[in-house]
Amino acid sequence: MCGDARLVSGWAIINEREAAPEPTPVSIERAALLGIVPAPVGRRSAAAVIDVIPAILFAAPLPFAVPALLAGELWGILVSAICVVLLVVYGLIQLTSNGRRGQTFGKQMMRIRTIDPATLKPIGFGRALLRALLVALSGIVPVVGPAVMLCSPLWDAEQRRRGWHDHAARSWLIDLDAVDPTDPVAFEAARGRARVRSVVLDVAAAQPAAPAPA
């Protein structure tokens, strides 16, 4: 009976997404069986640095151009306008890519992806925007606010390395060097391997314990 119960439990973990009546996060056990693992903190940080470098470069002329703009000088107006346009276009490209594909430029280079922890699909533009806004708003408290927000994955109670902004936007950063659930072929292969592992573990658990030595 114990073996049968564990076998049913193992299959339930594998088929959790299909059977769930509402979009609840995939259990950490099922994610582990499928080979889905959180993105390493170091690569998350590197991706964030890569993403912010172009924004810094686009904004670099503004401290010089804005005073000229306020003075009514033509070059100040032109440079300020160009900087703002570049920043807006870059931000929209990043948000759209993160929402539709789960990747910004930095995430793509670091091989990590933002997904919905329930559907294992990209989170969409709206939630990508919310996630970015929360990080930006943490800057109300200079230095400390962004630092705490970006370090919040380190004390995630779910052990998925999800930060406060991830919980609010219902997002999860995963390591693509393990399994990419947005790749149908790779994900089906992962499901197949997970089923085999589950059955092997359940069969092993169903074996009678060795009798104690006399």
- Is the entire prediction scored with pTM above 0.85? no
pLDDT digits (tens, 9 = 90+) for 153-209: 999 988 899 999 999 999 999 999 988 888 877 767 766 766 666 555 555 555 565
Residues 124 and 24 in one domain: no
So what's the pLDDT on residue 20? 45
Give the residue ranges of DSSP H helices in 101-173: 105-110, 125-137, 144-151, 164-169
Q: Does residue 211 sit within a domain?
A: no
Report phi then psi at 210, rounded to 5. Answer: -65, 140
Alpha carbon distance 163, 185 (integer Å)? 29
Residues 86 and 45 in one domain: yes
Q: Does residue 212 sit within a domain?
A: no
Residues 101 and 197 in one domain: no
What does each C-alpha distance from 114 to 28, 90, 154 come to in angstroms? 16, 18, 17
Query: With contact defined as beta carbons under 8 Å apart, do 138 and 149 qualify?
Result: yes
pLDDT digits (tens, 9 = 90+) for 126-167: 999 999 999 999 999 988 998 899 899 999 988 899 999 999
Q: Does residue 214 sit within a domain?
A: no
Residues 147 and 78 in one domain: yes
Residues 22 and 91 in one domain: no
Residues 93 and 133 in one domain: yes
For the chain, the domain total comes to: 2
Model confidence at 31, pLDDT cuts 50, 70, 90, reads: confident
So what's the pLDDT on residue 27? 74
List the domain range (segments joined by +) for residue 12.
1-36+179-206
Residues 85 and 173 in one domain: yes
What integer is the mean pLDDT of 108-135?
95
- Give every CB contact of residue 170 below 8 A, 6+ residues apart in sequence: 116, 117, 118, 123, 127
What integer is the mean pLDDT of 14-28?
58
Q: Does residue 61 sit within a domain?
A: yes
Residues 194 and 137 in one domain: no
- Give every CB contact of residue 110 below 8 A, 6+ residues apart in sequence: 39, 43, 44, 46, 47, 50
- Is it the case that residue 17 has pLDDT exceeding 90? no
For residue 175, give the H/E element and its range: strand 172-175
Residues 28 and 99 in one domain: no
Residues 28 and 81 in one domain: no
